[in-house]
Structure 1
Amino acid sequence: MSFEKGSKSVLNAWAFYDWANSVYALVITSSIFPLFYGALFRLAHKDGIEVGGEVIKSESIISYVTAVGFLIVAFISPILSGIADYLGNKKFFLKLFCGIGSVSCMLLYFFSLEHAFLGLLTYMFALIGYWGSLVFYNSYLPDIALESQQDKISAKGYSLGYIGSVILLLINLFMVLKYDIFGFENELAAMRVSFLLVGFWWLGFAQVAYRKLPDFSNKKKLIKSVVFSGFKELRKVWQQLQTKHKLKKYLLAFFVYSMGVQTVMIAAAYFGEKEIDWGSDSKRTFGLITTILLIQLIAVAGAVLTARASKKFGNIPTLIGINVFWLVLCSAVYFVKTPNEFYIVAAFVGLVMGGIQSLSRSTYSKLLPQTEDTTSYFSFYDVAEKIGIVIGMFMYGFVADQTGRVQNAILFLIVFFLIGIVILTFANREKRTI
């Protein structure tokens, strides 16, 4: 399939995959599933799951499963990216992980405490599918977009993702709150159907992207040595990074500050459910989903404003400013107790959430050297982010357990943003300002 680099139709198709897959991040990671998961334990009057004679708290076990999922993605990414570079079939792997993730979302319909481990395994496969597909999705950007287009199209992708996911969440919210109108027995039954909708939405709209995205597949045959070539490629990339000081420092900064960003995004719903005094279960459901919607809507504007700021001030100076903003937000969350306070902080989180994600991706893309093996470089990016999430989630849980307060864990995240700011400052002093 031939294509012209910078083609608007190809770029729009690439951005539309964000519309397809972002419903997972919003419905499964951030809103409906955390509410569903917590409600299962409350209704069963259980605090956790028994493992080896000991009860592991519900919030702990979901954190562990999440961490294991990210570790698996971090491990398999180098292997699959090496194969994709050799065979040129990143489109195949994009489809594969999309299929795994979307079907797993549908299977969450059957999640129950009676078969908790099977349900948690399904949850983990949905996570692996989502994040695994992003490795190959992100690696398309420098292949299909001119450098001058990358900030704008990256922001457009995130904006489409936020808009699409909000539309589906609004549908789910109405379905859950008015479950009797749809013939459901209770809110949990409506939530189960929302998982089906996520899977169908993701898989269905992904077809739009598949129609236009180019297929770089060649006629090479897969050989045994290629399976481990991904790690060899990563080692080669690491060696190349030693002479590309700005890229190396930026990647280190991203690794550190993503610990804070991703931990906040993953833990936000659980924090809101446990620590905010909503008054009742119905108010909790409505309040948390309203908060998530608020974040998503403001994030659309945040991504666009950040792209404009980067054009005026430069990418890295803008990222430094956003990290300072995150640092202040984590300090403020320490004092949040009421729903109104939670709404205010959530609005500011939305403003910087979309911005830091889209700008981080496009900044890394701009700093890459001229190479055809972009998948290996983005595998580095992906592995850094995933390991950062594992470390961030572990430290979040550890500090909360040791101090007895989730607020202290949020406050601890300041360390990650502070270190990120320092490294970004040094990276900005290097040549090749962007």
Structure 2
Amino acid sequence: MRKLFSKTEWSWIFYDWANSGYGIIVITAVLPIWLTSVAANNGISATHATAYWGYANSIATLAGAVLAPILGALADFQGMKGRLFYFFTALGVLGTFALTAVPSDNLFFLLAVFVVSFIGYSSANVFYDSYITDVTTDKRMDMVSSAGYGFGYLGGLVPFIIFMVGRSFFSSYGSVEFAFVLSAIWWAVFTIPFMKNVRQTYALPRVDHQVKASLKRLWHTLRVLPKYPALAGFLIAYFFYIDGVNTIFTMASSFALAIGIPSGQLIVVLLVVQLIAFPFSIVYGWLANRFGNRNVLIMGMLIYIGITLFAIFINHPNQFWLLAFGVGSSQGGMQALSRSYLGQLVPKERSSEFFGFFNIFGKFSAIIGPAIFGIVSQTTGRVQYAAGSLSILFLIGLLIFLRLPKKTTD
């Protein structure tokens, strides 16, 4: 494996490994549970605490999405990408550390610190994604991007296991502090190779009043984007099919509990999905290198259509394992190849700007799918039908994608 990628490529890949601990430990596993205890200390019910958690996530996501194209356009100037990347990475790491300093009876302070850490996390990812054009070639981009996602899944799994083993040595509050410190240290330490070996290769010349110039470029891009049908069309197709991917990930736990999966078994299933996603993300990169990114993305959308239609007929908890395997086999690969597909389309010296748009489409796509799931579930009374209804998102994305002109790299 060491010989498959250059030192620069490996250094870029391991940033995905670095920040994935934050995603699985802070966002998914620990903070949502811990805040209910903090809320109780404030006399706030679990129902209201869940609502506040939803509001905090919405605020953080919206802030990150709005900032993404503006910061992306600014990052394309010579020397700016690294400064912005390190600033927001530091903001995320320090924000994660700061979660340990929040008193156990101050819910709104806890949520405010989380919002700051999440903005650092999501904004740094915009620059990280755009660095793919600096660290590798178009021909190798699919494999490098897929390896990033693959090792990201593994990099989230390892610190989570460390946390699960280590928490028995702490009190309830101490285990939470341990989780936040572990996430921050993991993130900071494995960012060091990136700091040493990754540099901005493509850039626009520096100008005076860079912020003003960035806003003008951004407005110009919005006006002329329709003149680039391959790029604009891909972003629209991505909006739909990634909404399906994200909704399945978001609603998987609710779906599993509704069909009778015990909560303890559900944790095991989610860990297995993370483990499956590691090798299959890399397999997707190999397939794209062999058969072309476009063809493998089409295959992935077809697999997801099959997964969602299969969900309609699930009537036994054991069948959920097949569904979980299907999701784990394709989730990381679809995300990775979408990133590299865009990287092969955009002008290299303006990659951060376009990855800012990519970030917006990915964030705002998380609106339609959960709404469809909720409406169908409530109307029919069956979560199986709700899961099956998500096939329409993949079908729309596939039909748009099939109409796009082929890239020369394919």
Identify the TM-score tier after normalising by the shorter chain. Answer: 0.7 to 0.9
1:298 and 2:276 equivalent? yes
C-alpha distance in 2, partners of 1:334/1:42?
Answer: 38
Aligned to 1:242: 226
**May I ask how many residue pairs the two structures share in their alignment?**
405
Aligned to 2:80: 89
C-alpha distance in 1, partners of 2:85/2:333?
Answer: 24
Q: Secondary structure at the match of 2:199?
A: coil
Aligned to 1:54: none
Alignment check: 8 A CA contact 1:108 1:195 kept = yes
What is the CA-CA distance between 1:37 and the residue it aligns to?
5.1
Structure 2 length-normalised TM: 0.86
Aligned to 1:166: 157
RMSD: 3.2
1:197-254 per-residue CA deviation (whole Å, 9 max, x = no partner) reads 111111221122111111579995762xx32443432333344533332222112111
| Matched ranges for 1:24-423 at <5 A | 24-36=22-34, 46-49=45-48, 58=50, 60-109=51-100, 114-176=105-167, 179=168, 182=169, 184-186=170-172, 189-214=174-199, 223=209, 226-269=210-253, 271-272=255-256, 274-275=257-258, 277=260, 279=262, 284=263, 286-334=264-312, 340-369=318-347, 371-393=348-370, 395-396=372-373, 409-423=386-400
Q: Which runs of 5+ in 2 are unaligned?
A: none
C-alpha distance in 1, partners of 2:97/2:221?
Answer: 38
Alignment check: 8 A CA contact 2:150 2:280 kept = no
| Bigger shift: residues 301-310 or 27-36 | 27-36
Amino acid in the other structure paired with 1:253:
A
| Matched ranges for 1:422-433 at <5 A | 422-427=399-404, 429-430=405-406, 432=408
Amino acid in the other structure paired with 1:248:
A
Q: Indicate how the Cα distance of structure 1 residues 278 and 386 shifts in structure 2: closer, same or farther if over 3 A, else same.
A: closer
Alignment check: 8 A CA contact 2:76 2:204 kept = no
Q: Which runs of 5+ in 1 are unaligned?
A: 1-5, 50-56
1:18 and 2:1 equivalent? no
C-alpha distance in 2, partners of 1:271/1:220?
Answer: 51
Structure 1 length-normalised TM: 0.82
C-alpha distance in 2, partners of 1:391/1:65?
Answer: 19
Amino acid in the other structure paired with 1:353:
Q
What is the CA-CA distance between 1:140 and the residue it aligns to?
0.9
What is the CA-CA distance between 1:259 and the residue it aligns to?
1.3
Q: Indicate how the Cα distance of structure 1 residues 257 and 191 shifts in structure 2: closer, same or farther if over 3 A, else same.
A: same
Aligned to 1:53: none
Amino acid in the other structure paired with 1:295:
V
| Bigger shift: residues 75-84 or 29-38 | 29-38
Q: Aligned residues: percent identity?
A: 28
Alignment check: 8 A CA contact 1:63 1:393 kept = no
Alignment check: 8 A CA contact 2:73 2:215 kept = yes
C-alpha distance in 2, partners of 1:116/1:367?
Answer: 44
What is the CA-CA distance between 1:373 and the residue it aligns to?
1.6
Q: Indicate how the Cα distance of structure 1 residues 222 and 78 shifts in structure 2: closer, same or farther if over 3 A, else same.
A: farther
What is the CA-CA distance between 1:129 and the residue it aligns to?
1.7
Alignment check: 8 A CA contact 1:13 1:209 kept = yes
Alignment check: 8 A CA contact 2:204 2:350 kept = no
C-alpha distance in 2, partners of 1:77/1:234?
Answer: 11
C-alpha distance in 1, partners of 2:110/2:383?
Answer: 26
Q: Indicate how the Cα distance of structure 1 residues 130 and 391 shifts in structure 2: closer, same or farther if over 3 A, else same.
A: farther
1:403-427 per-residue CA deviation (whole Å, 9 max, x = no partner) reads 6665554344222111111111111
